[in-house]
Amino acid sequence: MSGQGFDTWILEVRGAGLSMNATHSKDVEQSAHEISDKMESTAEKAKEAVVHTGRSLDSKDGALVDSDAPVINGAQSTVATVWDESELVSKLTDTFMRLSQRLSGFLSEGQSRIISARLLDQLQKLLEDSHLLDRFNETRGKLLSLLETNDNSAVANQITDLSQRLVNIFEEGQRSISPQIFDLQASFFTTVEDFQKQLDLMVKYDWDFDHYLDEDIPAVMEYIRGQSKPKDGKLLAIGHSMGGILLYGMLSRCGYEGKDPRLAAIVTLASSLDYTTSKSSLKMLIPLANPAQVLNVPVVPLGAMLSATYPLSSSPPYVLSWLNNLISAEDMMDPELLKKLVLNNFCTIPAKLLLQLTTAFREGGLCDRSGTFFYKDHLHKSSTPVLALAGDQDLICPPEAVYETVKLLPEHLVTYKVVGQPGGPHYAHYDLVGGRLAVEEVYPCVVDFLSRND
């Protein structure tokens, strides 16, 4: 685009993990290469582990040894731990207070109740067959009742007292175990600490699609206008996958509010607001539509997962080779580029974001977080020219999904094209931007459309 005379900017939404603070462009480039090399090195090591199948596994009588406790001369040794009562009371109090405050708006009242009960269930399992179980359940009931109280200031002291009571129960339980087969106190401490880490993940990755649309996109567009100073105040925009979904969402929101999106034209690549009529592989996201499931999986480490599976998809016996087809059609992307894409392009995704995106598979298509605003309902009010491209072998956003959104736009303003030929070449999800032939078959189409609307 820059080579065609366009002042070109790339938008990175929050959480992509590619941005960094650096004074000079050389520093940015060097850091990017270091990250890329590190990811590739990790993948190579994983690949070697796949090739060398002769692993040595500790086993006894055919059963694998599965224990966190150190083994000395074939026997598990007891781990001595220091019982810091005040620290644990503080941890418990902090955890329950955060749940009472519903994690800065992340959790609804019902979700807060579910996740509080889950922590107490985990602690209860440590006391099974113990005479202290009745006392624990009594304290549990009082805690859950307090967490449903809206007045946080009124329950703070009571939560601290009940946290102290729980700690005392486990302290007494530890003394009653004879012989001390396992460290009950350490298990209690670890359970609470692991639970806190899950809460921290929820807070750290606390955003969804609407945050991108209402906060990130407007802020970036305003900045670009300030830097580029277009005469008519309008920008041209290209969006791939969710980038295109965001552009559609912007047109819809502005149409509903009667505002000018200040976009001269947009190009969407493999994007749709409604996947209900397609066989998109993204339907694997649907199980996350249950809010309780989001509490089990606060984030999805997509980048780490793809990096770990890459050796299995790119090396014999190619157990997961089907994953490559989701990204690129056969022989359409340079192997080195595909490798860099898999290892560097994907990041950790908040479950809240996935939860909202799953609405694109329900009747009405993608909606806002409140579930009351359906983005495709107002596309017909748009006055912005749109070029919508689809890949003929895109398993993530098939052509029928792209068309489901395209047909809602004013006919005289939209151009729809499926890229690829029956006998080849074929285009999968990322081939539209990184395939071998994209420069010859896709880019000229995009440049021509934007030039005509500039």
Number of domains in the chain: 2
Within this chain, do residues 148 and 234 fall inside the same structural domain, yes or no? no
How, if at all, do strands 75-76 and 71-72 pair? antiparallel
Within this chain, do residues 172 and 225 fall inside the same structural domain, yes or no? no
The answer to whether residue 417 sits within a structural domain is yes
The answer to whether residue 379 sits within a structural domain is yes
Buried b / exposed e over 189-200, threshold 16 CB at 10 Å, is beebeebbebbe
- Containing domain of residue 433, as a range? 209-452
Within this chain, do residues 198 and 269 fall inside the same structural domain, yes or no? no
The answer to whether residue 103 sits within a structural domain is yes
CATH of the domain at 370: 3.40.50.1820
β-bridge partners, 265? 236
Of the three residues 204, 235, 256, the one that is the final residue of a domain is: 204
The answer to whether residue 49 sits within a structural domain is no
Within this chain, do residues 195 and 217 fall inside the same structural domain, yes or no? no
What is the pLDDT, as a whole number, of residue 243?
Answer: 94
What is the pLDDT, as a whole number, of residue 121?
Answer: 78
The answer to whether residue 8 sits within a structural domain is no
Within this chain, do residues 247 and 295 fall inside the same structural domain, yes or no? yes
Residue whose token pair is 């731990």: 81
Model's pTM, two decimal places? 0.67
Within this chain, do residues 416 and 267 fall inside the same structural domain, yes or no? yes
pLDDT, block means (10 residues), the chain with 454 residues? 84 64 51 54 52 43 36 37 62 70 54 70 70 76 69 63 72 59 65 70 78 92 93 94 96 96 97 92 68 60 63 56 79 86 76 86 93 96 97 95 97 97 94 94 96 92
Within this chain, do residues 153 and 237 fall inside the same structural domain, yes or no? no
Mapped onto helix, strand or coil, the DSSP state of residue 349 is strand
Within this chain, do residues 345 and 382 fall inside the same structural domain, yes or no? yes
Residue 38 CB contacts under 8 Å (≥ 6 apart), including other chains: none
Of the three residues 204, 229, 253, the one that is the final residue of a domain is: 204
Buried b / exposed e over 313-335, threshold 16 CB at 10 Å, is bbbeeeeeeebbeebbbeebbee
Let me know: does 268 contact 248? Beta carbons within 8 Å: yes
Within this chain, do residues 168 and 250 fall inside the same structural domain, yes or no? no
Within this chain, do residues 397 and 300 fall inside the same structural domain, yes or no? yes
Within this chain, do residues 434 and 399 fall inside the same structural domain, yes or no? yes
d(CA 306, CA 419): 26
The dihedral region occupied by 389, where left means phi > 0, alpha psi between -120 and 50, and beta the remainder, is beta
What is the pLDDT, as a whole number, of residue 240?
Answer: 95
Within this chain, do residues 297 and 261 fall inside the same structural domain, yes or no? yes
The answer to whether residue 373 sits within a structural domain is yes
Of the three residues 204, 231, 254, the one that is the final residue of a domain is: 204
What is the pLDDT, as a whole number, of residue 425?
Answer: 94
d(CA 239, CA 389): 10
The answer to whether residue 5 sits within a structural domain is no
d(CA 41, CA 391): 32
The answer to whether residue 282 sits within a structural domain is yes
